[in-house]
Structure 1
Amino acid sequence: MIKFFKNFRKTLINEGKTTKYFKYAIGEIVLVVIGILIALQINNWNENRLTKIVKSNYLKQIKAELILDVTNFKKDIRSIKTYTEYLNKVSEGNYNNIDLSLLLNYLCRNLEPGNCGISFNKMLESNTFEEIDGETIKEKLQTYYLTNCAEYNNLTAFHSKFISENIEGPLLLILNHKKGFLVDPKEVIEQLEVGKLKSMINWQISYLNYYIPSINKNISLAEELIQLINHD
């Protein structure tokens, strides 16, 4: 085909048909330009298609992580209720149906930080986040991961450090530890009458309950994001 066009141009030039040659040359340029534009359009379409696929995959991964977050947060709330129910009974002197030898297992409990935002961070790093349609879902994703989850992890970090420094250490001095982190119920009752142990218990109850609004806020936003992703 290329050889044909070359021969055709030579024939026009040799026959002195300059005007026809220029018309042909312009037509050829137009065809080349159209071909380039079509190629660019196809390339852009293909890039957009691939970007949508990558975005969709990230959102699917984020949705799966959000579902897991909700499960874990609800598990945390159940744990808090279990811990505080036991500790409230100890603090109030209601020792029926509880095992005081297990006090340390409840008093030294802290929640684990959430491993949130793995796929979200990858999406940010790949510059795919801006491809999400709709400002609402983008704003809520940023609020959930960069604000809510970050605050929750700060709570758990402070809680863990406080227990390590202000509860676990002092408990070694006021209660005799047995294997399996067990203590003597009689010693527990004696120390509760002194006051310091009860203060530790009440602080733990207060801090565990302090988690609940933060966790409920995270659950609510995570469930909302799951619905938004379903309709994206």
Structure 2
Amino acid sequence: MIKLFRNIRQNLLAQGKTTRYFKYAIGEIILVVIGILIALQINNWNEERKEKIVEKNFFENVRIDLEKDEEKLKYYHKFYTKRIEYLDTLLTYVRNPNITMGIEKFGMYVEPLFYASDPTNNNTTFESAKTSGTFNNFKEKELLKELSQYYADFTLIDKAFSSVVRFIENQFEPLMYTLPENYMTAQTGILVVNEGDVQDFYKKIASIKDYRNIKADYEGLLRTPIMENYLIGDMGRSFGALGIITVRQDLLEQLKVKIEQYD
């Protein structure tokens, strides 16, 4: 093609058609410019298409992370809902001296209180894209902003859960260790809400015979003000954690809807 244009220019010059030569040369320049512009536009389209694919893959992976979060939040919600139920039951017995639990029921209701839940933040996709600077070319800036806030708010869950853990370690465990733990049977852990299977642990403890004939004064422990104070303090922290979990569940659902709309 270039050789053809050169031959045409040479023929025009040889024929002394200078004016036509200049017109042709200008037309040739215009054609080249148009060709360059078309090439640039095609390149831009290709780049935008690649960026769109990267952005779509990002939101798809974020959606998968959010689904993992959703399952964890369901577990956390169940954990603290049940914890509040157990605390409520124990507080009812503490405040009513006319009723007794029985040692087995006492064990079943206090044992779940030894357990806590560890918060998990499934933010690998988001943090990886953020670190690599991939966000710079994304179009959905508002959705990115909402995702950023969602992941930043994880600290609220972390703090709420940590507060419960510290309360268990500093208040509940020292209180319960005033009793011998020979109240534990194979059924003691039946109300425990935990991600792992803990029943083998209770079966093992129950299989070790206790020949000391020591009785645990659980009734005396239930009537102490310190037990009432603990139950109320734990309940308050558990309600706080449950509230934060519920808010996060609502935000997650909103994000999932927006990501589906983006697709």
TM-score category of the 2 structures, normalised to the smaller one? 0.7 to 0.9
Matched letter for residue 176 of structure 1:
P
The whole-number CA distance in structure 1 between the counterparts of 2:58 and 2:103 is 49
Is 1:175 aligned with 2:205?
Answer: no
Contact 1:123/1:129 (CA < 8 Å) preserved in 2?
no
Name the CA shift for 1:213/1:173 in 2 (closer, same or farther; >3 Å).
closer
Note the alpha carbon deviations across 1:66-118, whole angstroms, 9 max, x for none.
23322321221211122222232223326269633356642222222131332
User: Gaps (5+ residues) in structure 2?
Assistant: 94-99, 185-200, 207-213
Name the CA shift for 1:17/1:10 in 2 (closer, same or farther; >3 Å).
same
In structure 2, the partner of 1:190 is 220
In structure 2, the partner of 1:51 is 51
Note the alpha carbon deviations across 1:117-154, whole angstroms, 9 max, x for none.
3223334344337624473x34432332223x231122
Matched letter for residue 114 of structure 1:
T
The whole-number CA distance in structure 1 between the counterparts of 2:9 and 2:175 is 98
Name the CA shift for 1:42/1:24 in 2 (closer, same or farther; >3 Å).
same
The whole-number CA distance in structure 2 between the counterparts of 1:32 and 1:24 is 12
Matched letter for residue 27 of structure 2:
G
Cα displacement (A) at 1:42: 0.6
In structure 1, the partner of 2:235 is 205
In structure 1, the partner of 2:97 is none
Secondary structure of the residue aligned to 1:186 is: coil
Contact 1:89/1:95 (CA < 8 Å) preserved in 2?
no
Secondary structure of the residue aligned to 2:250 is: helix
Contact 2:12/2:18 (CA < 8 Å) preserved in 1?
yes
Decide which structure has greater helix share: 1
Point out the more displaced range, 50-59 or 150-159: 150-159
Point out the more displaced range, 194-203 or 91-100: 91-100
The CA RMSD over aligned residues, in Å, is 3.0
Secondary structure of the residue aligned to 1:128 is: helix
Point out the more displaced range, 174-183 or 118-127: 174-183
Matched letter for residue 252 of structure 2:
A
TM-score (norm 2): 0.73
Secondary structure of the residue aligned to 1:92 is: helix
Give the share of equivalent positions with the same residue, in percent. Answer: 30
In structure 1, the partner of 2:192 is none
In structure 2, the partner of 1:227 is 257
Quick one: which of 142, 156, 162 aligns to 1:157?
162
Note the alpha carbon deviations across 1:170-193, whole angstroms, 9 max, x for none.
247523356958798824333333
The whole-number CA distance in structure 2 between the counterparts of 1:21 and 1:211 is 83
Cα displacement (A) at 1:35: 1.1
Secondary structure of the residue aligned to 2:74 is: helix
Matched letter for residue 256 of structure 2:
I
